Amino acid sequence: MESALQQQAECLYGPYVDLRAGGRLIPIDDAPDVDAEPSSLDVPVPRVKRPLTRTELRGLWAHVRTIENFWTTLNEIENGSVQRLATLARQHDWEIMFVTRRPATEGETAQVQTQRWLNARGFELPSVFVIGGSRGNVAQAFALDVVVDDDLDNAMDVASLSNARSILVWRDHPASIPPEASRLAHVVLSFSEAIDLLEEMSGPLTRAQRLLKRVRNALQI
């Protein structure tokens, strides 16, 4: 989702905005120097990316809501990961819930768009829930065993308010993992690693054992 939103933000506000800048100035040495005054030494002036203002962020989401079936246009971050998850779910009898808080857009509902997106990538008949509020309360209400999320706040919420094991997918540099993440069950650097953990947790169960003990997982997308 982030890359698609970044693309839309650049279309609206120019190439020097960054959804993840968060107040940090990020040098872009190879960016076109369209706004700089001519230099007598003809040396390019480095540009920096800036975060969106609150007004711009609201404008971005208002724009996204006008795009028909926007949620079906997203690329898969790790190609083949949804197909792999579907294969292992069948193998281990996992019961999987996909939890999202995506706002409505033009076209089909966010739930149906997400279901179509998952189905197109190999996950048949996905259970998708579009809900807001506390992820920890959701995990506790559904008695989930494991929750995989790439949002730190959601992962911490699950760890604090439920009995589920909380797995955080941290896509930035490992050195930037915040100290509070140590309270989580696991921090991994890719969704593929998260799937590895799920498989490890399941263990080599027989079919009879799998029928008695189903692994239920929730994924934030």
One DSSP character per residue, 138-194 reads HHHHTT-SEEEES-HHHHHHHHHHSSSEEEEE--S-GGG--GGGGGSSEEESSHHHH
DSSP output for 35-91: SSPP-TT-PPPPEEEBPPPHHHHHHHHHHHTTSTTGGGSPPPSSTTHHHHHHHHHHH
Residue 30: per-residue pLDDT = 33
Listed in order, the ranges of the chain carrying CATH 3.40.50 are 71-220
What parts of the chain have a pLDDT lower than 50?
Answer: 22-41, 43, 45, 206, 208-212
Tokens representing 109 are: 């509902």
Task: Give the distance, in angstroms, between the CA of residue 64 and the centroid of all CA atoms in the same chain.
Answer: 17
Q: How far apart are CA 132 and CA 121, in angstroms?
A: 25
From 2.60.120, 3.40.50, 2.60.40, 1.10.10, which CATH number describes the 71-220 domain? 3.40.50
Tokens representing 98 are: 């996909």
Q: Could you give the angle at the alpha carbon of 187 between the alpha carbons of 183 and 192, nearest 5°? A: 155
Residue 82: per-residue pLDDT = 97
